[in-house]
Amino acid sequence: MQIVEGLLLLSLVGVLARMVRGPTPWDRLLAYNSASNRVVLVLAIAAVGAGRSTLLDITVVYVALSFLGVVILARFMERGGGNR
Amino acid sequence: MTSLILAGLGAAFVLIGTLGILRFDDLYSRLQASGVSDNVGAALILIALIVRNGWSWHDATLLFLLFLLLLTNPIATHSIAKSAFTRGHEGGESR
């Protein structure tokens, strides 16, 4: 399972590279969404590996908060925020 | 053993999705790559975690997490695509 965790962290670095580079703000938002997805998976694997269900609860809250962030930022940019 | 195969498959899907996000040359193609492969990868990895140590109440949280991810991820992708389309972002090359 640690191999899978390492591969997920590697792909997290790739997604963060797209976040730094992305030409449009929507690319950055997409990269944020994907990065939070990978963080959630790594957290879930770590929680099951350590046998702590508290970490799993933290993961559920993380999913809800990142979803809210992405949707609210997308609506904000849809209505012309950020001078784009 | 089964859980390791499932988790490896999920990690492969996630890595292929990352490659798509990095290499495609159009915003909507990148959205497609992220939205499709991330769901399958997340589902496979979470199912692998459930398979790993048998059924218990501990795994109900994992199942709920899987349900939540499968519910929210397409909505987030769709909302990003709708936002870009409404603001008049044409397809086209933009690396």
* Average pLDDT value for residue range A3-23: 91
d(CA B3, CA B22): 28
For residue A84, pLDDT over 90 is answered with no
* Average pLDDT value for residue range A11-17: 93
ipTM: 0.87
Q: Is B88 left (phi over 0), alpha (psi -120 to 50) or beta?
A: left
- Position A83 in a domain: no
- Name the closest residue on chain A to residue B81, using Cα atoms: A26
Q: Which is higher by pLDDT, B92 or B46?
A: B46
> Residue B28 is part of which domain span?
2-86
> Residue A51 is part of which domain span?
2-78
- Position B93 in a domain: no
The minimum CA-CA distance between B76 and chain A, rounded to whole Å, is 6
> Count of A–B CB contacts within 8 Å?
131
Is A24 exposed, middle or buried (CB count within 10 Å of its CB: 0-12, 13-18, 19+)?
middle
The total number of residues written for chain A in this structure: 84
User: Could you report the per-residue pLDDT of B21-75, keeping only the tens digit for each?
Assistant: 999 888 898 999 888 899 999 999 999 988 887 777 777 888 899 999 999 999 9
pTM for the model stands at 0.89
- Position A84 in a domain: no
User: Could you report the per-residue pLDDT of A55-82, keeping only the tens digit for each?
Assistant: 888 999 999 999 999 999 999 988 877 6
CA distances from B93 to A63, A71, B23, B32 (A): 32, 25, 12, 15
- Position A47 in a domain: yes
| Chain B residues with CB-CB distance to A56 below 8 A | 58, 61-62, 65
- Position A24 in a domain: yes
